[in-house]
Amino acid sequence: MPWNKKTKFIVITGGVLSGLGKGIVTASIGKLFSPRLKVMPMKCDGYLNVDPGTMNPIEHGEVFVLEDGGEVDMDFGHYERIMGISCKFPWNLTTGKIFMRLVEKERNGNFLGKTVQMIPHATDEIKEAFYSVANEEGADMLLIEIGGTVGDIENMLFLEAARQMRIELGAENVLFAHLSYVPVLEAVDEQKTKPTQQSVDLLREKGIMPDVIIGRSRHILEEKTKQKIALFCNVPVQAVFSSPNLESVYELPLIFEKEGLRGLIERKLNIRHKADLKNWQALVSKMKKPAGETTIALCGKYTKLKDSYASIAEALSHAGAHLNARVNLKWIDSESLEKGNSNIENAFSGVRGLIVPGGFGTRGTEGKIKAIGYAREKNIPFLGLCFGLQLAVVEFARDVCNLKDANSTEVDAKTKNPIIDIMPEQKNISRKGATMRLGAYSAYLKEKSRVWEIYGKQKIVSERHRHRYEVNPDYHDLLERNGMLISGTSKDGMLAEFVEVPKNRFFVATQAHPEFKSSLERPAPLFFSFVDACIDKKQTKLQVSG
């Protein structure tokens, strides 16, 4: 598919080490130009997995789920939260996807007997993906983030494809931005540029000369640091920008705008645009200097890697910004509670609310159930997400409905009271990747219920899902007779999408993942209402569409 001669491309690369925040940098660049321009992000990941859906969060971080059901890298969460867009699965490009396409084409005889090689066939396939997204979406600007660091063998094909694209389309249509690490040695308290110089040298070896260099450092880059990077990396000093440690990642677009990054990009790519960041500035100011604060506990088993729950933490901060309150997270290791290594009262000390997030497997399950029971009995606001809903139902069935052996068949396949069971359509599925109930599904809400109020009295709402198990419909009546309201269901009434305990101040759980749709300018309604309950304020209504 040829280039449509409309789209401008910005390729973002990284150097020195991973984890510098390329996703946040990419999204922040996009924020400077959207929504007045149609800006689309793409992420290139070098791993051979088709998607990250089967990866352990401890190894890779959170798996982000899109409206169309795509399981993608967590950087897509940054894109959606900062740019305020809804991404699509084809925008995440992995080496696994590219190789699968090439093998399928070769088996079908598409290459007419030629020897299929990394260059040009793999790189052509990558460029084809870039042009296809740009054309199909009618993008004014396509941001291409190349995962990993320059020098990694995994991303060489993506770098080579980007190099070729610059030659084919011209420098006025393709811009390279390189994010690099600028450490500060405590002994001399000086920003060191040598790692950046060396990473740019590696990039030059690949045939790519960056137009923009962004220095990731503890503080804003000093003028002498910028001058040194400019001198040794062959760019004007006006093309060197800062990505400092920030209290909130949402400040970065404001930093870029202040330092003139938007203007430089406009000149390089011959575009004209006027940014409007007034509302963004106001929200960021509230996040930095809120009027109040609250502490919320998150009880999970992946607490050693906070990125496993990145979207939940961000959704809480979005709600806090609109409620003018800082949300402090207290991490509770569910395994520690389960094994008795942590005292439940100590774990909840200073806590005003509890979240039990999604997850898989048996490890730490009883610890989560213990925490849910404590919150319900002490009338502490509770929000359950996905597996959190399922365990809330298990706890309620055991303690209130007197089904002492109630469990999920995921945890105990032989339980006599399988109050949580695998969905019928999932029973004969053997493959793990992309086979769950994924993406956006509608829920039908009961009038006068808490969630009906939270979602602005809408009858039908849509949230994203990622699960195989559901509340067993055989137990719906028993739960409701004992005081748990199934306040949202699938259209046929078989799947419980929302449950709540009306007599509690706030006890709501959903089978969905509303955190995936939350953004700074439009917080998720469920998180907004939950945080509102945790700061003891009069319920503030937030009108949103489902």
* Residues involved in catalysis: 386, 513, 515
Q: What are the angstrom distances between the C-alpha of 130 and each of 7, 66, 145, 293, 413?
A: 10, 19, 11, 44, 45
Q: What are the angstrom distances between the C-alpha of 498 and each of 442, 493, 495, 507, 512?
A: 11, 11, 9, 11, 8
CA distance 485 to 475: 12
H helices of 260-364, in order, are 261-269, 278-288, 310-322, 334-338, 344-347
Give the amino acid at 186. Answer: E
Q: At CA 345, angle to CA 306 and CA 401, rounded to 5?
A: 95
| Torsions phi, psi for 5 (to 5 deg) | 65, 15
End-to-end CA distance of the chain: 36
Residue 155, C-beta contacts closer than 8 angstroms, at least 6 positions apart:
44, 46, 146, 147, 148, 149
Contact 188, 24 (CB under 8 A): no
In terms of DSSP bridges, do strands 437-445 and 460-467 run parallel, antiparallel, or are they unpaired?
antiparallel
Neighbours of 377 (CB within 10 A): 11
Neighbours of 19 (CB within 10 A): 11
DSSP class of 119: I
SS3 481: helix
- Per DSSP, the residues of 320-345 read HHHTTEEEEEEEEEHHHHHTT-S-HH
Q: What are the angstrom distances between the C-alpha of 435 and each of 40, 312, 314, 468, 481?
A: 27, 23, 27, 9, 34
Question: Which residues on adjacent β-strands are paired with residue 124?
Answer: none
SS3 380: coil
Contact 7, 165 (CB under 8 A): no
Cα-Cα-Cα-Cα dihedral sign, residues 268, 271, 277, 278: positive
Neighbours of 152 (CB within 10 A): 15
Q: Which long-range contacts (CB under 8 A, 24 or more apart) does 390-395 make?
A: 390/420, 390/469, 390/470, 390/471, 390/511, 391/356, 391/365, 392/356, 392/499, 392/507, 392/509, 393/419, 393/420, 393/471, 393/479, 393/484, 393/496, 393/499, 393/509, 394/369, 394/419, 394/420, 395/369
CA distance 362 to 410: 7
Contact 127, 166 (CB under 8 A): no
* Rounded (10°) CA dihedral 146, 152, 157, 159: 50
